[in-house]
Amino acid sequence: MRYYLTFGLISIALAGALFVYLYSNTSWNPYVDWLTALSATAFVFSGLDKLLSKIKWGRCPEGLLNLVALLGGFPGGWAGMFLFNHKSNYREHPGIWLCLMLGTLAHSALAYYWFVK
């Protein structure tokens, strides 16, 4: 439970700070700012979790990685999965694969509706 609170607060702070920075310094659509901030957060947490697992010091909760992926961090989640070889085994971690696929499909549909229609 302690790890959920610690990593959850850090992820909220990181994603929030990145969103505010991007929103105030770019002319992008706020949805793009949101996706970029959460993608960077997911990428950082994938690398951090991989590092922590190698040094045997706690882990970032998989549920938090799944939540960040569903909320819009799926590009960073995919990148972290393949660049860090993080939770890339489908049989051991089916939840992260499912959340990444659902996040990708849901946000693709939302982006299509928002930008194309």
How is residue 41 written in tokens? 């957060």
Single-letter residue type at 42: A
8 A C-beta contact, residue 53 and residue 80? no
Of all residues in the chain, the percent with pLDDT exceeding 70 is: 98
pLDDT score for 58: 78
8 A C-beta contact, residue 19 and residue 34? yes
pLDDT score for 1: 61
Q: What is the DSSP letter of 80?
A: H
How is residue 90 written in tokens? 């489908």
> Checking phi first, is residue 26 left (phi over 0); if not, alpha (psi -120 to 50) or beta?
beta
Intervals of the chain under pLDDT 70: 1
